[in-house]
Amino acid sequence: MTDILNQSIQAILLGGLYAMYALGLAVSVGVLRFVNVAHGDMIVLISFLFLSVTQFLGLPLVIGALLMIPVGMGLGWLLQRGIFQRAAGMGELQVILVAFGLSIVIQNALLAGYGADARRVSASGLEAASFPILPGVYVGVVPLIIFVAAVALIFLLDRLLHATRLGIAIRAISDNLVAGQLNGLPVRRLQAATMAIVGVTIAVAGVFMAVWTNFEPSAGPSRLLVAFEVVVLAGLGSYWGVLIAGILIAAAQTLGASIDSAFQILGGHLVFLVLFLLRPNGLFPRS
């Protein structure tokens, strides 16, 4: 029973990290209407930048983490204004191809700059700290912080998109781009602002991934796959659904690992396929 409780708690907390992976992609797909196949590589890029400023430059973890937020925001804004918007004018396929090319560039740049070895950001032992909630049942400090941060980030994003003028304008061009243009909305600036918001979610995901898990230059596609499955499973436009879907994928992986370590990743994919066949529009599709 104790093992089951520990595994269940671990799955729930891991679901918070998966939700962070997927949140920015959910915004890209739901608002900008394109699948950014470089999304996972951008998360890994932030992780390496976080590694550089904390371990190579010696900045405290909190300062380095806060520094990554404007970096991620600026990266998202620049990519949208400089690359994605131009490619979007040529067609949907061109946007995907450009994002794929960006993915390759990021991977090779990281490989050249950091090598192929797996890295991890040390949190001075905090990543191994835990506390008991029941006899024999423990909760990791870092995983709990990540889960709470995921809930807070989803809440803030939901409020931003539903309770602010900027969010209402972003949702307007998401629902009907042509109508937004006819009503005088600055579509290009709103799209760039949306990608800047995506950049913030990428920065947060990259920082927490660097502390909790190992990462290497080639880790982007695996993060993208997890994020894509979570977004599809949640349903477009449901950001709280992203959290539930992340927990489901993490629970399936945890269950698979308890059977055999080779089944860990396979378990998540199988659950995704089964639920997708049962609910092709996602668990929480937007009406």
Fold of 2-278: ABC transporter involved in vitamin B12 uptake, BtuC (1.10.3470)
Reading the block at residue 44, the tokens are 């890994």
Tens of pLDDT, residue by residue over 145-175, are: 999 999 999 999 989 988 899 988 888 888 7
- Ranking 191-195, 209-213, 239-243, 283-287 by mean pLDDT, the lowest is 283-287
- Number of DSSP helices (H) and strands (E) in the chain, helices first: 12, 2
Short-list 233, 206, 222, 243, CA closest to 23: 243
What does each C-alpha distance from 141 to 30, 120, 124, 204 come to in angstroms?
A: 32, 17, 13, 17
Contact (Cβ atoms closer than 8 angstroms) between residue 36 and residue 87: no
Tens of pLDDT, residue by residue over 226-238, are: 999 999 999 877 8
Contact (Cβ atoms closer than 8 angstroms) between residue 208 and residue 81: no
Supply the pLDDT for residue 282: 84
| β-sheet bridge partners, residue 247 | none
Rounded Cα gap, residues 13 and 10, in angstroms = 5
Tens of pLDDT, residue by residue over 40-75, are: 999 999 999 999 999 888 889 999 999 999 999 999
Supply the pLDDT for residue 287: 58
Q: What is the mean pLDDT of residues 96-120?
A: 92
Better-scored residue on pLDDT, 4 or 54: 54
Contact (Cβ atoms closer than 8 angstroms) between residue 77 and residue 259: no
Q: What is the mean pLDDT of residues 117-144?
A: 83
- Confidence band (pLDDT; 50, 70, 90) for 21? very high
Torsion of CA 141, 215, 39, 19, to 10 degrees: -20
Give the number of other CB atoms < 10 A from CB of residue 124: 8
Reading the block at residue 18, the tokens are 């998966």
What is the pTM for the complete model shown? 0.93
Q: Is the pLDDT of residue 39 over 90?
A: yes
Mean pLDDT of the chain: 88
